Structure 1
Amino acid sequence: MKILLAISIFLFYFLNVSIAQEVIRPLTENPELINYMLPAQLKQSKQLASLPFFDDFSANQLLPSADNWTDQDVYINNSFGIGPMSLGVATFDAVDVNGYMHAAIDNKPVIADRLTSRIIDLSSYTPNDSLYLTFFYQPQGMGNSPEVNDSLILEFLTADTVIKVWYANGSDFNTFKTTVLKLPPNADDTLLFKMVHLKVDNPLFFSSSFQFRFSNYASTSLSLSLRTNCDMWNIDYVYFDANRSLSDTIFADIAFVKPPRSFIKTYSSVPWAHFDMAISKIRDDVYYNIRNNDQIKRNLSEFMLFIRNKAQSVDTFRLGLEGSMSGIEAFTNYVDFRYPWSGDNFPVRWYPADKATIEMEARLGVQASDPVENNVAFRTVVFDDYYAYDDGTAEFAYGISGDARQTAFYFETYKPDTLFGFSMYFVPNKEKYSALQNFYPRVWTSVNEKPGEKINPDEPITIIEYSEQRNQFVYIPLSQPVFVEKSFFIGWEQNEDLSINLGFDANTNTRTKRYYYINGGWFQGDEDKEGSLMLRPVFKKTIETRIADAKHSNFFSVFPNPSTGNLQISFTTEPEQGKVAIFNSLGVKVFESELEKIIYNLSHLPNGVYLVRVQTKNGSASVLKWMKH
């Protein structure tokens, strides 16, 4: 892993602080796409598409397939869809191919993301060939809901023509799901996407340059501190072909709808050094979610499960259940197949190593006409030096506000060990730097699975620069390691009403293990905020340190403080080249300059509390509070 010199987080001020104590908000960037290397075919492919055209976005990649699409605005993922037809959805999230929000988006709806098919030559077809385009869509999903003035549209294009043929106004998911039409009527109520089935019969479209294009209109706050991935839509199962009919809305397909879950009962990962004890915590069955999208009962010829140690590059386990998966009812969702095992016969065994990476691969034996890619599902389980509930991907950012000043997260170690620190994922923001503050890492005892006595000293830290690596966790070392026997809490305490922007995994719910402190008591996580903090206890002394000790990080001072407008910077050593930046209480950068002088006229700034950040070219950085009155 590349060692980073400095990590910073941005913190934001939440509105309605008198009401909310826990706050989650959409991301301001997509960390999965930042620094993502485009596969060569996405950069180079110029081929035409042909009929039949089908894409259910189940391929294991983050961007649309170049075989079908000409652009890469949308995000292919298994995280933001609720109840999809199969693995993977295409999410319109107002973020570009590089992971950053589109610069043109403001408080009025504008086109944000586009998903454009490759050219399809329809010149040899006529209206008598009965062409239909079918797709499924869903607003919001696990993300931010589109406003009523926002929309998802579909256009048909030729070299000479652009015609809007369909649109849907924005709504929140709860409102939308009450309007989902079940086609056919006996379909179950767990398919939470709505079908659109359009006939293509306008003579204008029977051209050698035909394309279809999905676009979303999105809007966001004018305040930079409140700009987020916004007005999200998911689409799935795009199918375009000839010789179809109005009633051709059934898909003869059995598919995985979720990646396989971890074989550890409680956690997504445990320390490899604890794995010998974790064997007793292994799930007692194989559990996978599939859906029969057909109108008839379907059989599987086989179900294959492979478990392999990636370091050894060999399968450690292969399970074949031929003939045992018959009779999957029509339109059944989330069927779970179970194969009993116990810790005694579990195929993975501990061996001497710092860590291990185990890959689970499941395959369905289906008819040859079924789409191939949605019949394979993967999960990679990493056993390193930490416990984790989260799946490694953030859907939201978490913070506490108002009178809340402490957050605690419950863990239970499988064997007594020494806790050396935490790993935390801080979500970056569009402006890269925002309001900064010290916070205190905390460890508490557990009393009846609620936070008890604080057991580590007060040692404030400051995170001074964040990473743009994909879902990169920051290691926070404890000043004094803590020995834990079994159950404990970790978290943080803060002095100000500014909240750290911690990653929040909405697909793994551990709300009941999360507490916040307010008015002299601990309260369980809010019921409407189901998910897991991306916060992990680390049980091995990690040399790589990515934080600055708040007590020793300040190499400059500011005066007068308070001031009526002039700000003077004084250095404890000879001043170096670098930059000075100033942030307001909302985390917005309001001033930036090279370190060319030591006195700055800031009389134009409104009165208030600001944070002054100095970063030198040698990588040193520090933050101080400054007041203007």
Structure 2
Amino acid sequence: MNIKHILWIALLLFGFQAHSQVVLVGLQTNEAVRMEANKLNAETDFCNCKSEEIIQPALSLPFFDDFSVSTIVPNTQLWEGRSVFINKDFPFLPPNLGAATFDAIDSLGAVYTDAVWFPPTVGDRLTSRPIRLDSVTLIQRALSPADSVYLSFYYQPQGVGNDPEPWDTLVLELGIPSGDSAFVRMDSIKVIADLLMESGQEAFVMFDTLWAPVSLGCNPLVYMINYDPEPIVRGDSITILCDSVYEPVTSWEKVWWSEGMKLSEFQQIYGKNFVQVMIPILDTTWFNPAFQFRFFNYISIATDMYPFEKSNGDQWNVDYVYLN
């Protein structure tokens, strides 16, 4: 073999190696979250009746959660929604056992479908239930800035997961009802077709109008068009729209945020694994009977050029949330 052939082989091998680098990416699903979501959805679907909105009373002070009791999803007695991951694995040496991890995985256990590299999009949210911040219920006394009410928590970027970029911030907002309401969804109900049929009617065919059953508490003005090519006959079970669902609109204001960074950089700056933040509640606006606060994180993941890299990352951990 002459020198020219050896050089050609060397160049080919070098080129092959240059384009064969292994790229390590995060997980694209969280199986624990996915399984929990399937279980919760199955429990919801089990009810064949109109879903009633349960109006729960606002919480009273103190508000506290160290995430040591609930696992996978947040404690529903304290929080709304279930997108954050309550776990003991991602936080690095937390103040206690367990923390709330904010990342790029949604409440169904999959990577957020609208997540892109830039601009960053909102990932997980952790929203408190409404809290009575207008008064101390035990002694029936109004609260004011003079009572030195503080919201405190511990936070940490990355943990043992993926470090958030500087623009993948962790944000805290405070909120009160705006007085408006917004459409959220259409409520539905599963019924036997007989209930919707007139006397002597044997079937619904394609393009028939199906009216919501008033006898079951549905809105008499709500209806749907049947697009099923197969006839719906007596004895069939069908799901029909029942009513519109509206929820109060909350007005939010950002009061704190932190830029993303590596845990090692965080430790170098603060000399700690977790840092405590204390937010004084000074504005009288917040002393409201339906006060809320929420955390959320921004995420930026793979571009369309490298969709296989679209995986979990940009993680933050929050722990020991206390309002009093």
Using the size of structure 2 for normalisation, the TM-score is: 0.62
Residue of structure 2 in register with 1:178 after alignment: 268
Match for residue 208 of structure 1 among 277, 285, 289: 289
Residue of structure 1 in register with 2:256 after alignment: 166
Residue of structure 2 in register with 1:38 after alignment: 40
Query: Which digits, 9 at most, give the CA deviation of each residue in 1:497-542, with x for residues without a partner?
Result: xxxxxxxxxxxxxxxxxxxxxxxxxxxxxxxxxxxxxxxxxxxxxx
- How does 1:525-604 map onto structure 2 within 5 Å? none
Residue of structure 2 in register with 1:152 after alignment: 170
Structure 1, gaps ≥5 residues long: 1-15, 182-190, 242-629
The question of 1:129 aligning with 2:142 is answered no
The question of 1:76 aligning with 2:91 is answered no
Query: Which digits, 9 at most, give the CA deviation of each residue in 1:178-214, with x for residues without a partner?
Result: 1225xxxxxxxxx510110110111110111210010
Residue of structure 2 in register with 1:113 after alignment: 124
SS of the residue 2:146 aligns to: helix
Query: Which digits, 9 at most, give the CA deviation of each residue in 1:281-319, with x for residues without a partner?
Result: xxxxxxxxxxxxxxxxxxxxxxxxxxxxxxxxxxxxxxx
User: CA 1:23/1:163 → structure 2, altered by over 3 Å: closer, same or farther?
Assistant: same
* 1:90 CA displacement: 0.4
Residue of structure 2 in register with 1:142 after alignment: 160
Residue of structure 2 in register with 1:465 after alignment: none
Match for residue 50 of structure 1 among 52, 55, 60: 60
- Measure, in 2, the Cα distance between the counterparts of 1:169 and 1:17: 37
- Measure, in 2, the Cα distance between the counterparts of 1:154 and 1:202: 16
User: CA 1:169/1:17 → structure 2, altered by over 3 Å: closer, same or farther?
Assistant: farther
- Measure, in 2, the Cα distance between the counterparts of 1:58 and 1:141: 17
* 1:22 CA displacement: 7.2
The question of 1:234 aligning with 2:236 is answered no
User: CA 1:67/1:22 → structure 2, altered by over 3 Å: closer, same or farther?
Assistant: same
SS of the residue 1:225 aligns to: helix
Q: Is the 8 A contact 1:121 1:207 kept in 2?
A: yes
- Measure, in 1, the Cα distance between the counterparts of 2:284 and 2:76: 28
Q: Is the 8 A contact 1:45 1:66 kept in 2?
A: no
SS of the residue 1:196 aligns to: strand
Query: Which digits, 9 at most, give the CA deviation of each residue in 1:395-452, with x for residues without a partner?
Result: xxxxxxxxxxxxxxxxxxxxxxxxxxxxxxxxxxxxxxxxxxxxxxxxxxxxxxxxxx
The question of 1:26 aligning with 2:26 is answered yes
- Measure, in 1, the Cα distance between the counterparts of 2:109 and 2:253: 29
- How does 1:270-285 map onto structure 2 within 5 Å? none
Q: Is the 8 A contact 2:80 2:127 kept in 1?
A: yes
SS of the residue 1:164 aligns to: strand
- Measure, in 2, the Cα distance between the counterparts of 1:146 and 1:175: 12
Amino acid at match of 2:157: P
Structure 2, gaps ≥5 residues long: 1-15, 45-50, 136-142, 179-250
- Measure, in 1, the Cα distance between the counterparts of 2:131 and 2:95: 25
Higher helix share: 2
Match for residue 95 of structure 1 among 94, 105, 129: 105
- Measure, in 1, the Cα distance between the counterparts of 2:20 and 2:94: 32
The question of 1:224 aligning with 2:307 is answered yes
Higher strand share: 1
User: CA 1:107/1:80 → structure 2, altered by over 3 Å: closer, same or farther?
Assistant: same
Residue of structure 2 in register with 1:104 after alignment: 114
SS of the residue 2:270 aligns to: coil
Amino acid at match of 2:144: T
Query: Which digits, 9 at most, give the CA deviation of each residue in 1:114-173, with x for residues without a partner?
Result: 000000021221111110011000011111111111100000000123110000001011
User: CA 1:46/1:30 → structure 2, altered by over 3 Å: closer, same or farther?
Assistant: farther
Residue of structure 1 in register with 2:201 after alignment: none
Q: Is the 8 A contact 1:101 1:229 kept in 2?
A: yes
CA RMSD of aligned residues (A): 2.4
Amino acid at match of 2:278: H
Q: Is the 8 A contact 2:176 2:292 kept in 1?
A: yes
- How does 1:404-553 map onto structure 2 within 5 Å? none
- Measure, in 1, the Cα distance between the counterparts of 2:68 and 2:320: 9
Q: Is the 8 A contact 2:166 2:259 kept in 1?
A: yes
Q: Is the 8 A contact 2:25 2:309 kept in 1?
A: no
- Measure, in 2, the Cα distance between the counterparts of 1:18 and 1:170: 31
SS of the residue 2:35 aligns to: coil
Between Structure 1 and Structure 2, how many residues are aligned? 216
- Measure, in 1, the Cα distance between the counterparts of 2:295 and 2:121: 14
- Measure, in 1, the Cα distance between the counterparts of 2:67 and 2:314: 20
* 1:53 CA displacement: 0.6
User: CA 1:55/1:46 → structure 2, altered by over 3 Å: closer, same or farther?
Assistant: farther
Amino acid at match of 1:203: T
Higher relative contact order (CA 8 A, sep 6+): 2
Amino acid at match of 1:164: K
